Amino acid sequence: MKYVAISLLLFAAPFNAAAAVTTTLVKAFSTPANVNRIEREMAVRFANQKYRNRQESVDPDLRELSDEELSELHTIIFHTHTVYGHFDIVPVMRALQQQVQTNSKSVAAIVYKQLLITDPKTGEIHVQAPTLEALGVCPVKDSFTSEPAAATCSGFLVRSDVILTASHCIESPVLGLLRFVFDYLPDNRGGITLSAGSIFEADSVVDRLDSKIGPEWVLVKLKRDTGRTPLTPASTRVAKGDPVSVIGCPGGGTLRSADNATVRDASPSGTFVANLDVFAGNSGSPVFDASGKNVVGILTRGEGDWVDDLSKHCSAMKICPDDQCLGETVTRISVVPIPK
């Protein structure tokens, strides 16, 4: 889910009174509950277009809007507001903090082995998977949408031969099909090229906790030692308002980091909620404290990532105000019995 801070839009000039998308309509739908009505209406119409359904509009206040007007209303509320800050997800090798690059050496992409193809001539291993854009996501300049979307989750070392990730990322029947890939970075050809030494197989599940509403985690022992330095668990708990950051594989693409986030709710005992800029593929990512050196949690679950853009006929990043939508749930590192 993409979170950015948004202010209420102050119009330099009012809309034409005859236009369907009026100032009154914009103000009426600028609340969280009514925003959901817009998205529900857009989903119905998208299904009508894609599957030729005959489902009628269910919202009397939006029924008279054309598809273009509905998209305009959504764009005004979500995308044309003043944005505090900027798109916070950056490739780890372009991060300003050297600590991010150091930490990234211990973060792995979790990829199905079938997507790792060895070139018989060069011995290079290439990732072969469709991009998010090929799957219908709207292009975002200089982002992960144009990269192979192969990583199902992220994980990180808590011992040089043990990976910690979210439990929903590891199902026992497919454990042998997964590979834990380090140095998951873009090459200079728009793809992802790997060395055999950076790819690891699982040996076994050491321990796990499964939950759909509370903390969840799994510890996986690798078949061989990585020789890499594990990340350091934090010794203290984060509190509401504390800064946090994350490293992982948003959208299934290459390793990226995101900062400028804070803890929104620290009241649960085994989890906390933060407004981190993350997407599918980030599950299992390490979440760091303000120093960027210590892991305070494992990214677990959160808000949906995309919303249908009827005008562009693709799925656009969903944008929420910093203090709205569900937020991203993080399992506290303190609840995990990390092996010595």
pLDDT at 28: 67
Percentage of residues in the chain having pLDDT higher than 70: 76
Whether 239 has a pLDDT exceeding 90, the answer reads yes
Average pLDDT over residues 190-200: 94
Confidence of residue 231 (pLDDT cuts 50, 70, 90): very high
DSSP class per residue in 288-300: E-TTSSEEEEEEE
Average pLDDT over residues 27-56: 59
Q: Could you state, in order of their start, the residue ranges of all structural domains in the chain?
A: 2-84, 86-340
Whether 156 has a pLDDT exceeding 60, the answer reads yes
pLDDT at 139: 84
pLDDT at 183: 97
Q: Kindly give the pairing relationship between strand 2-3 and strand 319-320.
A: parallel
Average pLDDT over residues 98-111: 96
Distance CA 302, CA 278 (A): 9
Give the position of tokens 């800050």.
85
Q: Is 3 left (phi over 0), alpha (psi -120 to 50) or beta?
A: beta
Q: pTM of this prediction? A: 0.75
Tens digit of each residue's pLDDT (9 = 90 or more) over 47-86: 665 445 455 555 777 777 877 777 666 555 543 322 223 4
Distance CA 300, CA 295 (A): 14
Whether 103 contacts 177, CB under 8 Å: no
Confidence of residue 315 (pLDDT cuts 50, 70, 90): confident
Q: How far is CA 197 from the centre of its chain?
A: 27
**Nearest one of 195, 217, 198 to 206, comparing CA atoms:** 217
Whether 253 has a pLDDT exceeding 80, the answer reads yes
Residue 105 sits at φ, ψ, to 5 deg, of -65, -20
DSSP class per residue in 87-143: --EEEGGG-S-HHHHHHHTTEEEEEEGGGEEE-TTT--EEE---BTTTTTBPP-TTS
Return the CATH number of 86-340, one of 3.20.190.10, 3.40.50.300, 2.40.10.120, 3.40.50.720: 2.40.10.120
Distance CA 334, CA 223 (A): 26
Higher pLDDT, 41 or 225: 225
Percentage of residues in the chain having pLDDT higher than 90: 48
Average pLDDT over residues 207-220: 93
Tens digit of each residue's pLDDT (9 = 90 or more) over 85-96: 345 788 998 888
Q: Two tokens at 30?
A: 């600028």
pLDDT at 12: 25
pLDDT, the chain, mean: 81
Query: Around Cβ 104, how many Cβ atoms within 10 Å?
Result: 24
Distance CA 2, CA 134 (A): 20
Whether 20 has a pLDDT exceeding 90, the answer reads no
Least confident of 39-53, 160-174, 267-281, 303-317: 39-53
Distance CA 208, CA 167 (A): 7
Whether 212 has a pLDDT exceeding 60, the answer reads yes
